A and B are shown apart, each in its own frame.
Chain A
Amino acid sequence: QLQLQESGPGLVKPSETLSLTCTVSGGSISSSSYYWGWIRQPPGKGLEWIGSIYYSGSTYYNPSLKSRVTISVDTSKNQFSLKLSSVTAADTAVYYCASWELLTGWFDPWGQGTLVTVSS
């Protein structure tokens, strides 16, 4: 049974880079069946897709965040990572990682999420 777990700093200063890692267990990140995605949710607000990556490194990014986002994959560690640069308070959110089926667009399962606060 596939499980995902986010990790990384809970506090980031404005203008710095937010870095998170998602560790996949119960299956291989190199599976041909899945992409791997990041989604965020500001406090009290809705879900926003950040981007997705295939084990080969192929990526899709939200056009509104593309200039600040880098998603990478480390198949040796069964992990994929998110970097979001030049953060502001508006980037404060719970960040989720999830498995993504490209053909159906379905995110499942999701990690439990991790709150990242942008503040000095």
Chain B
Amino acid sequence: ETGVTQSPTHLIKTRGQQVTLRCSSQSGHNTVSWYQQALGQGPQFIFQYYREEENGRGNFPPRFSGLQFPNYSSELNVNALELDDSALYLCASSFGQARSGNTIYFGEGSWLTVV
């Protein structure tokens, strides 16, 4: 167990809809990152939040947005869903702004299917 919890674990949405995924980070971790993992690929960095502010973003369009709350939990929102958004969405927590040896733990992920 990594102490990182995500919800929901599985969901099915229709193209054009919006989805919100949630993540609770490991106790004491102030940094949350989100990744998208398509089938057969490695995870791709979406963005990171540190102390409630976005602190780095990957090559994803603006319809991917997020929030981090004062308790360091986080949400990933995706608007105008497309079929290619079908993937495993992973939340990772860490103690940010730390040394090189800082470890990064993933939650169990949210499987999103867009039909």
Tell me whether A and B are bound partners.
no
